[in-house]
Amino acid sequence: MIDWSFGGGIFIAKYNYWISILLMLIGFYAMIAKGNLLKKVIGLNIFQTAIILFFVSLGDATLGSWGKGVTEPIVKGTLPWAAGGIVEHGVVYANPLPHVLMLTAIVVGAATTAVALALIIRMYEEYGTIEEEEIIEKERELGV
């Protein structure tokens, strides 16, 4: 029997981490095990989404050791992350860096998906299929 209260309820309190790990495994499985190129791209998107979910979860200070609510880092005339911390004048601020990095990851993911889908369309026009094994067989027949 699993003791779900181990470590102060770490399995329940950090459920979003476990969900992102599960999504990573599902996406990785789809990229490796599926023969259809479109399904591989879908698996890649699931994997990218899981990584984004994980990093955004890391940036949420309410899930950390603070144990209380956070304030947005919009303060007039001060830097909320000054002096190497995210606490200033007794107020806890959320770290915006993971969120900003994940906005960049979303743009890169969209571009990667667009290029992959364009390549899949081109391969379908050339080979008449998007199944990996059939494409490899046709390449062997052509002697490439």
Question: pLDDT, tens digit, for every residue of 48-94?
Answer: 999 998 888 876 655 444 445 555 555 544 554 544 445 555 555 66
Residue 102 confidence (pLDDT): 86
Kindly give, in sequence order, each residue whose CB lies less than 8 Å from that of residue 108, ignoring residues fewer than 6 positions away: none
Question: pLDDT, tens digit, for every residue of 121-133?
Answer: 999 999 999 999 9
Q: What is the mean pLDDT of the chain?
A: 79
Residue 64 sits at φ, ψ, to 5 deg, of: -85, -155
Domain limits, the chain: 6-59+95-142
Q: What is the DSSP letter of 74?
A: -
Q: CB neighbours (10 Å) of residue 95? A: 17
Q: What is the mean pLDDT of residues 3-29?
A: 79
Question: In angstroms, rounded to a whole number, what is the distance separating the alpha carbons of residues 112 and 58?
Answer: 24
- Residue with the bigger pLDDT between 70 and 45: it is 45
Q: What is the mean pLDDT of residues 2-17?
A: 65
The pTM score is: 0.71
The architecture in CATH of the region 6-59+95-142 reads Orthogonal Bundle (1.10)
Residue 63 confidence (pLDDT): 46
